[in-house]
Amino acid sequence: MREKVIFLVDIQSFYASVEKVDHPELHHKPVIVSGDPERRSGVVLAACPLAKKWGVQNAERLWEAQQKCPQAIVVRPRMQHYLDVSIQITNILNRFTNLVEVYSVDEQFLDVTASRRLFGDPFSIARNIQKAIQEEIGVYARVGIGPNKVLAKIACDNFAKKNENGLFQLDFDNMEREMWPLPIGKMFGVGSRMNQHLERMGIRTIGHLANFPLNLLKKRWGINGQVLWQTANGIDYSPVTVKTHDQQKAIGHHMTLPRDYETFQDIKVVLLELSEEVARRSRLKHYMGNTVSVGVRGADFDFPTGFHRQMKLSSPTNFDMDIFRPACRLFQKYWDGSPIRSVGVTLSQLQPANHYQLNLFDFQLKKENINKALDFVYAKYGPTAIIRASSLTEAGQAHHRAEKIGGHYK
């Protein structure tokens, strides 16, 4: 059987690179793309290579980054523009294969197995992709090459990003030599908490995990233990598919607050706004959900507090008040009273909205008519055409959220 050739194409410092393309005067200067510090969202979203040389890292607080690199130019994000550029890159990749899977705004998987007859060997295809993106968009792409998605991802993250040519191939021939010596935290799928668990078990490299008894991993983590072991051994059967985002598992919205919210009266305003947003997006995607969950993070960075709890509904819904009421109950039950920095509401266990079991004690038809009227107004006049009076209070954030995509300004 012919071995597959999978690419993971990653754009270097995507947001910062786009800003440098649009503003040539920034080309030789350290650039940081960050949220608005005045609204408590001053976190580094992207730092260009010049800023990273000073120790600036993604996801750290802006004031810390500015201490490391005082001369850095701070640019507020333009999320809609970045999404538009990402789509342009997808269109370029579609010239090389019809199997392009968008993994994130700056990362995309490609299956070029059948493209080799047209475009040559994997490295020739990768170089042509780099050239096309550089010439047409102006940003630099790195390409990880592997026989499956997981090895392509690890190849890109750990090797291609460090190579001068931005290319690296990781396969079963060099996996033990190149990948197994890496620290376990470098493996795809291992976060900081899992890293700690594995290190406490004496598993410090990917090679250690690859040779660890599978039955012990499955005994501790079940199917996740199997997945970890397979990843360490370069095994991944998931195909590159263009339908990755067709079926969602959950629809949620999370917000970092502009100040510490200390009273339930203020927090309730935000919970209602989040519930409205989740309900609206669910209807737009034609889903109803059976479970509502609430996630909260405390205001203290040094001693993190918070919770994430969920509640099963009696019947599926995409109506804002049906989401808001259980969200409030969850919050009141599990909140310890400490100041809140961020909060999120999620609707999960989704099902198609075009068929569901009727509840004789629920006014579903009336809710649907209200939803249709609201959605018509939102579609024609925007998300702030109709807002609740509570959103006009100091705690309300509806107008600020309407100016953003993914929590950042358009």
Buried-state track 21-57, b at ≥16 Cβ within 10 A, e below 16 = eeeeebeeebbbbbbbeeebbbbbbbbbebbbeeebe
Q: Which two tokens stand for residue 138?
A: 């102006």
Q: Cα(89)–Cα(141) distance, rounded to whole angstroms?
A: 10
* CB 145 within 8 Å of CB 128: no
The residue whose two tokens read 């019947």 is: 315
Which residues is 350 bridged to in the sheet? 289
Per the DSSP assignment, residues forming a β-bridge with 342 are 256, 297
- Which residues are annotated binding-site positions for Mg(2+)? 10, 106
CB 342 within 8 A of CB 257: yes
Q: How far apart are CA 365 and CA 355, in angstroms?
A: 13
Q: Are 285 and 251 in contact (CB under 8 A)?
A: yes
Cα-based distances in Å from 240 to 107, 113, 171, 234: 13, 11, 17, 16
**CA distances to 16, 18, 81, 139 from 26, in Å:** 10, 11, 18, 14
Q: Please tell me what DSSP assigns to residue 218.
A: H
Report the distance separating Cα 105 and Cα 121, nearest Å.
27
Q: Strand, coil or helix: what is 194? A: helix
Q: Which member of 25, 38, 101, 107 is catalytic?
A: 107
Q: φ, ψ for residue 100 (rounded to 5)?
A: -120, 120
In sequence order, what are the beta bridge partners of 205? 183
**CB–CB of 64/206 below 8 Å?**
no
Are the beta carbons of 290 and 349 closer than 8 angstroms? Answer: yes
What are the phi and psi torsion angles at 29 (to 5°)? -120, 150
CB 287 within 8 A of CB 306: no
Residue 408: burial class (beta carbons within 10 Å; 0-12, 13-18, 19+)? buried
178 is catalytic: no
- How far apart are alpha carbons 85 and 102 in whole angstroms? 13
Q: Which residues are part of the catalytic machinery?
A: 107
